[in-house]
Amino acid sequence: MFFDAHSDIWSDVTNRRLRGETDILRRYHLPKLRKGGCEGSIFAFWTYAPYYRRTLDMMHCADLEIAECDEICIVHTYEELISAKRNSVFYVIKGVEGMAAIGDDPAGIDWYYDYGCRHGILTWNEENALAAGAVSGSSKGLTAAGKEVIRRMQQKGMVVDVSHLNEAGFYDIMDMTTAPVIASHSNAKAVCDVPRNLTDDQLRAIRDCGGVVGLNAFRKFVHPEDELQTVQQLTRHAAHIIDLIGIDHVGCGFDFCEFLEDENGDLPTERSNPYGLMDCSEVPNFFACLRDMGLSDNELDKIAYENFHRVLKQILR
């Protein structure tokens, strides 16, 4: 069994419900999640312009889905997570991937928290009033409002996620953090040099604050060449990160996106995920590759869920 630190399933739930469909999790997602061995995940509210309206739509659709599906449990504390796990119930942590909806008002974090979110990323790929994304082209760090949001998140017991931030914002968070931070879905830039992946110095900084990096299965973050975008290549990212910062700081944040639609409502026309890891149902292939690398059962368990659980136990309260 494994924990996935990043999923965009709320996006699919929203898109389908806005077209009149219902029971999305049971019909489209839970079978693949169970087949792959996923026991729980951070389901992130990923929003794009108009940010506030889209966020409200996603929250409303998520509420309808949660009320309809008794096969998942929304958890807010580590104790709730463990209770769900013991009862073999799929547990979900509500997360936020991009906070442009709150503008420059740090009190907006209370809105997310009161709704039940226990995780957050300041920005997606855009520059907003809080921070700048890794591919925004901006070298600006966190704004004053962004720094206040991070302080409030950590005071409240929310997981701070640095995936998608540019380097300036990343180091601003590292300079002020009072708790472990995560990169929920990022790979190693030394293995695949794209802006969304992390430098060795960034990886060390995550280790030094006690955090965890979730390996990302999005194919363009695995290797620049199509034929090398494979599950085996993703294990090379794992090997690099393990060698650099240790087995205790690596987890899963697969970011599967084969179900995501474009602005026209169409599914991707090209492969989104690497060969051998095309969707959640194929995650056992990834762990088989790690085992072939020589990792023990105890080490596999750390990557599968123990490392992220350690951070969640420390932060969620």
Alpha helices in the chain (DSSP H): 9-18, 24, 30-36, 51-68, 78-86, 108-115, 144-156, 167-176, 200-208, 231-245, 283-292, 297-301, 307-315
What is the reported pLDDT for 48? 86
CB 3 within 8 A of CB 251: yes
pLDDT at 268: 74
Looking at the DSSP bridge assignments, the partners of residue 212 are: 182
Q: Per-residue pLDDT tens for 258-299?
A: 999 875 677 776 789 999 999 999 999 999 999 999 999 999
pLDDT value at position 267? Answer: 72
**Domains defined for the chain, CATH in brackets:** 2-315 (3.20.20.140)
Sign of CA dihedral 11, 170, 247, 312: negative
pLDDT digits (tens, 9 = 90+) for 26-75: 999 999 999 999 999 999 999 988 999 999 999 999 999 999 999 999 99
pLDDT tens sequence across 298-316: 999 999 999 999 999 999 9
Q: Give percent of the chain with pLDDT exceeding 90.
A: 96
Mean pLDDT, rounded, for 19-31: 98
Model-wide pTM > 0.85? yes
pLDDT at 263: 58
Query: What pLDDT score was predicted for residue 270?
Result: 75
Greater confidence (111 vs 262) lies with 111
